[in-house]
Structure 1
Amino acid sequence: MARPHPPEFEKTKVVAENRRARFEYFLEEFFEAGIALTGTEVKSLRFGEGTIAEAYAEVKDGQVSLINCNIPEYNFGNRFNHEPKRPRKLLLRQRQIEKMQKSIGREGMTLIPMSVYFNGRGRAKVELALAKGKKLHDKRETVKARDWKRDQQRLMRDRG
Protein backbone atom coordinates (compact mmCIF):
# COMPACT_ATOMS: atom_id res chain seq x y z
CA MET A 1 0.00 0.00 0.00
CA ALA A 2 1.31 3.43 -0.94
CA ARG A 3 2.31 5.91 1.71
CA PRO A 4 -0.08 8.91 1.96
CA HIS A 5 1.31 12.15 0.61
CA PRO A 6 1.92 14.96 3.12
CA PRO A 7 -0.06 18.18 2.64
CA GLU A 8 1.34 20.32 -0.14
CA PHE A 9 3.89 23.02 0.77
CA GLU A 10 4.24 21.97 4.41
CA LYS A 11 6.69 24.61 5.66
CA THR A 12 8.14 23.88 9.07
CA LYS A 13 11.15 26.21 9.04
CA VAL A 14 11.31 29.06 6.52
CA VAL A 15 14.93 30.06 5.85
CA ALA A 16 14.55 32.81 3.23
CA GLU A 17 11.58 34.60 1.72
CA ASN A 18 11.25 36.83 -1.33
CA ARG A 19 8.61 39.28 -0.11
CA ARG A 20 9.39 41.85 -2.79
CA ALA A 21 8.28 39.45 -5.55
CA ARG A 22 4.59 39.88 -4.66
CA PHE A 23 4.98 43.60 -5.38
CA GLU A 24 7.09 43.24 -8.54
CA TYR A 25 5.19 40.41 -10.30
CA PHE A 26 1.77 38.95 -10.96
CA LEU A 27 2.10 35.43 -9.55
CA GLU A 28 0.29 32.77 -11.58
CA GLU A 29 1.19 29.24 -10.48
CA PHE A 30 3.27 27.77 -7.65
CA PHE A 31 5.57 24.74 -7.63
CA GLU A 32 7.53 23.00 -4.87
CA ALA A 33 11.01 21.82 -5.84
CA GLY A 34 13.81 20.06 -4.02
CA ILE A 35 17.33 21.47 -4.14
CA ALA A 36 20.51 19.49 -4.82
CA LEU A 37 22.82 20.77 -2.05
CA THR A 38 26.18 19.83 -0.58
CA GLY A 39 26.63 19.15 3.14
CA THR A 40 27.96 22.57 4.11
CA GLU A 41 25.13 24.30 2.22
CA VAL A 42 22.53 22.38 4.24
CA LYS A 43 24.29 23.25 7.50
CA SER A 44 24.42 26.91 6.53
CA LEU A 45 20.69 26.89 5.68
CA ARG A 46 19.86 25.20 8.98
CA PHE A 47 21.49 28.16 10.74
CA GLY A 48 18.97 30.39 8.93
CA GLU A 49 21.43 31.96 6.51
CA GLY A 50 20.70 32.46 2.84
CA THR A 51 19.03 35.00 0.58
CA ILE A 52 16.94 34.69 -2.57
CA ALA A 53 16.19 38.38 -3.14
CA GLU A 54 17.98 38.59 -6.52
CA ALA A 55 17.56 34.92 -7.45
CA TYR A 56 15.68 33.44 -10.39
CA ALA A 57 15.25 29.99 -11.91
CA GLU A 58 16.21 28.97 -15.43
CA VAL A 59 15.09 26.03 -17.57
CA LYS A 60 17.92 24.73 -19.74
CA ASP A 61 18.36 21.31 -21.41
CA GLY A 62 15.38 19.82 -19.58
CA GLN A 63 16.70 20.83 -16.15
CA VAL A 64 15.83 23.72 -13.85
CA SER A 65 18.61 25.63 -12.07
CA LEU A 66 18.43 28.19 -9.29
CA ILE A 67 20.69 31.08 -10.30
CA ASN A 68 22.11 33.83 -8.05
CA CYS A 69 20.85 32.35 -4.78
CA ASN A 70 23.29 33.26 -2.01
CA ILE A 71 23.99 30.62 0.65
CA PRO A 72 27.01 31.90 2.64
CA GLU A 73 29.90 29.62 3.50
CA TYR A 74 29.54 27.48 6.60
CA ASN A 75 31.82 28.87 9.35
CA PHE A 76 33.21 25.48 10.40
CA GLY A 77 33.42 24.00 6.89
CA ASN A 78 37.24 24.29 6.39
CA ARG A 79 38.48 23.25 2.92
CA PHE A 80 35.26 21.36 2.05
CA ASN A 81 33.20 24.56 1.97
CA HIS A 82 30.97 25.43 -0.98
CA GLU A 83 30.85 28.34 -3.39
CA PRO A 84 28.21 30.83 -2.11
CA LYS A 85 26.51 31.79 -5.42
CA ARG A 86 26.90 28.66 -7.51
CA PRO A 87 23.95 27.53 -9.70
CA ARG A 88 21.96 24.83 -7.88
CA LYS A 89 19.97 22.11 -9.60
CA LEU A 90 16.27 21.96 -8.71
CA LEU A 91 14.51 18.61 -8.51
CA LEU A 92 11.15 18.57 -10.30
CA ARG A 93 9.02 16.12 -12.26
CA GLN A 94 9.46 16.11 -16.04
CA ARG A 95 5.84 17.16 -16.61
CA GLN A 96 6.32 20.21 -14.37
CA ILE A 97 9.53 21.18 -16.19
CA GLU A 98 7.77 20.95 -19.57
CA LYS A 99 4.89 23.08 -18.30
CA MET A 100 7.33 25.73 -17.04
CA GLN A 101 9.28 25.71 -20.29
CA LYS A 102 6.12 26.22 -22.37
CA SER A 103 4.91 29.08 -20.16
CA ILE A 104 8.27 30.82 -20.23
CA GLY A 105 8.61 30.50 -24.00
CA ARG A 106 5.06 31.28 -25.08
CA GLU A 107 3.69 33.70 -22.51
CA GLY A 108 6.88 35.56 -21.55
CA MET A 109 6.82 34.54 -17.90
CA THR A 110 9.71 34.06 -15.49
CA LEU A 111 10.40 31.62 -12.66
CA ILE A 112 10.82 33.37 -9.33
CA PRO A 113 11.81 31.61 -6.08
CA MET A 114 9.36 32.70 -3.38
CA SER A 115 10.84 30.94 -0.33
CA VAL A 116 13.44 28.42 0.79
CA TYR A 117 12.33 26.19 3.65
CA PHE A 118 12.63 22.81 5.31
CA ASN A 119 9.57 20.56 5.09
CA GLY A 120 8.28 18.18 7.76
CA ARG A 121 10.75 15.47 6.73
CA GLY A 122 13.73 17.83 7.05
CA ARG A 123 14.33 18.26 3.31
CA ALA A 124 15.32 21.64 1.86
CA LYS A 125 12.71 22.88 -0.61
CA VAL A 126 12.14 25.93 -2.82
CA GLU A 127 8.72 27.35 -3.62
CA LEU A 128 8.79 28.59 -7.23
CA ALA A 129 6.22 30.82 -8.89
CA LEU A 130 5.51 31.37 -12.56
CA ALA A 131 5.27 35.16 -12.71
CA LYS A 132 4.67 37.98 -15.14
CA GLY A 133 6.29 41.38 -14.49
CA LYS A 134 4.17 44.34 -13.40
CA LYS A 135 4.31 47.69 -15.14
CA LEU A 136 4.76 50.92 -13.19
CA HIS A 137 1.04 51.77 -13.18
CA ASP A 138 0.23 48.29 -11.83
CA LYS A 139 2.65 48.83 -8.96
CA ARG A 140 1.02 52.19 -8.18
CA GLU A 141 -2.40 50.52 -8.06
CA THR A 142 -1.03 47.89 -5.67
CA VAL A 143 0.32 50.59 -3.34
CA LYS A 144 -2.99 52.49 -3.54
CA ALA A 145 -5.01 49.36 -2.69
CA ARG A 146 -2.69 48.50 0.22
CA ASP A 147 -2.98 52.03 1.66
CA TRP A 148 -6.77 51.98 1.33
CA LYS A 149 -6.99 48.63 3.14
CA ARG A 150 -4.83 49.99 5.94
CA ASP A 151 -7.08 53.07 6.24
CA GLN A 152 -10.18 50.85 6.22
CA GLN A 153 -8.79 48.77 9.08
CA ARG A 154 -7.97 51.94 11.02
CA LEU A 155 -11.49 53.33 10.51
CA MET A 156 -13.13 50.06 11.52
CA ARG A 157 -10.98 49.83 14.65
CA ASP A 158 -11.79 53.41 15.70
CA ARG A 159 -15.54 53.16 15.09
CA GLY A 160 -16.13 49.53 16.01
Structure 2
Amino acid sequence: MARPRPATFDKKKIVAENRRAKFEYFIEDVFEAGIALQGTEVKALRGGEGNIAESYAEVKGKHVFLVNSNIPEYSHGNRENHEPRRPRKLLLHEREIAKMHGAVERKGMTLVPLMIYFNSQGRAKIELALAKGKKTHDKREVIKDRDWKRDQQRIMKAHG
Protein backbone atom coordinates (compact mmCIF):
# COMPACT_ATOMS: atom_id res chain seq x y z
CA MET A 1 0.00 0.00 0.00
CA ALA A 2 1.26 3.45 -0.89
CA ARG A 3 2.42 5.79 1.80
CA PRO A 4 0.14 8.85 2.12
CA ARG A 5 1.63 12.10 0.86
CA PRO A 6 2.01 15.02 3.26
CA ALA A 7 -0.49 17.87 2.86
CA THR A 8 2.27 20.40 2.27
CA PHE A 9 5.75 19.79 0.98
CA ASP A 10 8.84 20.19 3.13
CA LYS A 11 10.38 23.49 1.97
CA LYS A 12 13.69 24.52 3.51
CA LYS A 13 14.85 27.28 1.16
CA ILE A 14 12.63 28.85 -1.51
CA VAL A 15 14.70 29.93 -4.51
CA ALA A 16 12.17 31.14 -7.08
CA GLU A 17 8.45 31.77 -6.79
CA ASN A 18 5.78 32.41 -9.43
CA ARG A 19 3.52 34.86 -7.56
CA ARG A 20 1.37 35.71 -10.58
CA ALA A 21 0.28 32.10 -11.06
CA LYS A 22 -2.36 32.26 -8.31
CA PHE A 23 -3.75 35.45 -9.86
CA GLU A 24 -3.70 34.21 -13.47
CA TYR A 25 -4.98 30.64 -12.88
CA PHE A 26 -7.41 28.56 -10.83
CA ILE A 27 -5.10 26.04 -9.11
CA GLU A 28 -6.66 22.55 -9.20
CA ASP A 29 -3.98 20.05 -8.13
CA VAL A 30 -0.40 20.50 -6.86
CA PHE A 31 2.52 18.09 -7.42
CA GLU A 32 6.09 17.99 -6.13
CA ALA A 33 8.67 17.05 -8.75
CA GLY A 34 12.41 16.68 -8.81
CA ILE A 35 14.42 18.52 -11.46
CA ALA A 36 17.22 16.96 -13.50
CA LEU A 37 19.92 19.64 -13.16
CA GLN A 38 23.56 20.00 -14.10
CA GLY A 39 26.17 20.87 -11.46
CA THR A 40 26.46 24.56 -12.27
CA GLU A 41 22.66 24.90 -12.25
CA VAL A 42 22.51 23.60 -8.68
CA LYS A 43 25.25 26.04 -7.63
CA ALA A 44 23.38 28.96 -9.25
CA LEU A 45 20.13 27.94 -7.50
CA ARG A 46 21.91 27.64 -4.14
CA GLY A 47 23.07 31.21 -4.68
CA GLY A 48 19.41 32.28 -4.87
CA GLU A 49 19.29 32.89 -8.61
CA GLY A 50 16.53 31.61 -10.85
CA ASN A 51 13.29 32.76 -12.44
CA ILE A 52 10.14 30.80 -13.32
CA ALA A 53 7.81 33.74 -13.99
CA GLU A 54 7.28 33.04 -17.72
CA SER A 55 7.82 29.29 -17.60
CA TYR A 56 5.45 26.36 -18.05
CA ALA A 57 5.67 22.58 -18.16
CA GLU A 58 4.70 20.28 -20.99
CA VAL A 59 4.19 16.53 -21.30
CA LYS A 60 6.13 14.89 -24.13
CA GLY A 61 5.51 11.15 -24.31
CA LYS A 62 6.36 9.66 -20.93
CA HIS A 63 8.33 12.68 -19.72
CA VAL A 64 7.52 16.16 -18.40
CA PHE A 65 9.77 19.12 -19.24
CA LEU A 66 10.05 22.57 -17.66
CA VAL A 67 10.23 25.06 -20.53
CA ASN A 68 11.43 28.68 -20.55
CA SER A 69 12.70 28.77 -16.97
CA ASN A 70 15.78 30.89 -16.44
CA ILE A 71 18.65 29.73 -14.23
CA PRO A 72 21.49 32.16 -15.00
CA GLU A 73 25.02 30.88 -15.57
CA TYR A 74 27.07 30.24 -12.45
CA SER A 75 29.54 33.08 -11.95
CA HIS A 76 32.52 30.81 -11.16
CA GLY A 77 31.65 28.25 -13.84
CA ASN A 78 34.05 27.57 -16.68
CA ARG A 79 33.42 26.55 -20.27
CA GLU A 80 31.31 23.64 -18.96
CA ASN A 81 28.67 26.13 -17.70
CA HIS A 82 25.03 25.35 -18.49
CA GLU A 83 22.66 27.00 -20.97
CA PRO A 84 20.36 29.35 -18.96
CA ARG A 85 17.01 28.66 -20.71
CA ARG A 86 17.33 24.99 -21.67
CA PRO A 87 14.32 22.66 -21.17
CA ARG A 88 14.75 20.70 -17.93
CA LYS A 89 13.35 17.24 -17.32
CA LEU A 90 11.05 16.89 -14.31
CA LEU A 91 11.15 13.70 -12.27
CA LEU A 92 7.67 12.34 -11.54
CA HIS A 93 5.97 8.98 -11.09
CA GLU A 94 4.32 7.45 -14.17
CA ARG A 95 0.89 7.68 -12.55
CA GLU A 96 1.35 11.42 -11.93
CA ILE A 97 2.51 11.95 -15.52
CA ALA A 98 -0.52 10.05 -16.83
CA LYS A 99 -2.84 12.18 -14.67
CA MET A 100 -1.22 15.39 -15.94
CA HIS A 101 -1.33 14.21 -19.55
CA GLY A 102 -5.05 13.39 -19.29
CA ALA A 103 -5.89 16.74 -17.70
CA VAL A 104 -3.91 18.72 -20.26
CA GLU A 105 -5.33 16.81 -23.25
CA ARG A 106 -8.98 16.42 -22.21
CA LYS A 107 -9.72 19.33 -19.90
CA GLY A 108 -7.47 21.94 -21.54
CA MET A 109 -5.53 22.62 -18.35
CA THR A 110 -2.02 24.05 -18.06
CA LEU A 111 0.98 22.87 -16.05
CA VAL A 112 2.25 25.91 -14.15
CA PRO A 113 5.34 25.94 -11.90
CA LEU A 114 4.62 27.63 -8.57
CA MET A 115 8.05 27.59 -6.91
CA ILE A 116 11.52 26.07 -6.91
CA TYR A 117 12.93 25.17 -3.50
CA PHE A 118 15.39 22.95 -1.69
CA ASN A 119 13.89 20.34 0.63
CA SER A 120 15.31 19.21 3.99
CA GLN A 121 17.64 16.72 2.25
CA GLY A 122 19.11 19.49 0.07
CA ARG A 123 17.46 18.36 -3.17
CA ALA A 124 16.09 20.89 -5.66
CA LYS A 125 12.33 20.42 -6.08
CA ILE A 126 9.65 22.22 -8.02
CA GLU A 127 6.02 22.66 -7.03
CA LEU A 128 3.95 22.11 -10.16
CA ALA A 129 0.22 22.86 -10.44
CA LEU A 130 -2.49 21.70 -12.79
CA ALA A 131 -4.34 24.94 -13.45
CA LYS A 132 -7.12 26.43 -15.52
CA GLY A 133 -6.76 29.97 -16.86
CA LYS A 134 -8.89 32.76 -15.39
CA LYS A 135 -10.92 35.09 -17.54
CA THR A 136 -10.68 38.87 -17.13
CA HIS A 137 -13.89 39.14 -15.11
CA ASP A 138 -12.60 36.47 -12.68
CA LYS A 139 -9.44 38.51 -12.12
CA ARG A 140 -11.53 41.65 -11.51
CA GLU A 141 -13.54 39.77 -8.86
CA VAL A 142 -10.34 38.70 -7.10
CA ILE A 143 -9.10 42.30 -7.05
CA LYS A 144 -12.46 43.55 -5.75
CA ASP A 145 -12.55 40.93 -2.95
CA ARG A 146 -8.96 41.68 -1.95
CA ASP A 147 -9.66 45.43 -1.80
CA TRP A 148 -12.84 44.87 0.23
CA LYS A 149 -11.01 42.68 2.75
CA ARG A 150 -8.31 45.33 3.10
CA ASP A 151 -10.99 48.00 3.70
CA GLN A 152 -12.71 45.75 6.26
CA GLN A 153 -9.45 45.38 8.18
CA ARG A 154 -8.91 49.15 8.08
CA ILE A 155 -12.46 49.80 9.39
CA MET A 156 -12.13 47.18 12.15
CA LYS A 157 -8.80 48.65 13.24
CA ALA A 158 -10.26 52.19 13.38
CA HIS A 159 -13.35 51.16 15.41
CA GLY A 160 -11.96 48.36 17.51
Task: Calculate the TM-score normalised by the size of structure 2.
Answer: 0.95
Structure 2: which amino acid aligns with 1:34?
Answer: G
Mapped to 2, the partners of 1:113 and 1:46 lie a distance apart of 18
**3-state secondary structure, aligned to 1:99:** helix
User: Which runs of 5 or more residues in structure 2 are unaligned?
Assistant: none
Mapped to 1, the partners of 2:56 and 2:86 lie a distance apart of 13
Mapped to 2, the partners of 1:140 and 1:12 lie a distance apart of 34
**3-state secondary structure, aligned to 1:50:** coil
User: Which runs of 5 or more residues in structure 1 are unaligned?
Assistant: none
Mapped to 2, the partners of 1:30 and 1:104 lie a distance apart of 14
**3-state secondary structure, aligned to 1:103:** helix
The alignment yields a C-alpha RMSD, in angstroms, of 1.6
Match of 1:115 in 2: 115
After superposition, the C-alpha distances for 1:81-123 in whole angstroms (9 at most, x for unaligned) are 0000000000000000000000011110000000000000000
Match of 1:130 in 2: 130
Q: Structure 1 residue 6: deviation in Å? A: 7.3
Structure 2 residue 32 is the aligned partner of structure 1 residue 37: no
Match of 1:19 in 2: 19
**3-state secondary structure, aligned to 2:120:** coil
**3-state secondary structure, aligned to 1:78:** coil
Q: Structure 1 residue 73: deviation in Å? A: 0.1
* Paired-residue identity, %: 68
Structure 2: which amino acid aligns with 1:142?
Answer: V
After superposition, the C-alpha distances for 1:28-86 in whole angstroms (9 at most, x for unaligned) are 00000000000000000000000000000000011000000000000000111000000
Q: Structure 1 residue 156: deviation in Å? A: 1.2
Q: How does 1:1-160 map to 2 (within 5 A)?
A: 8-160=8-160
Q: Which runs of 4+ in 1 moved over 2 A?
A: 4-8
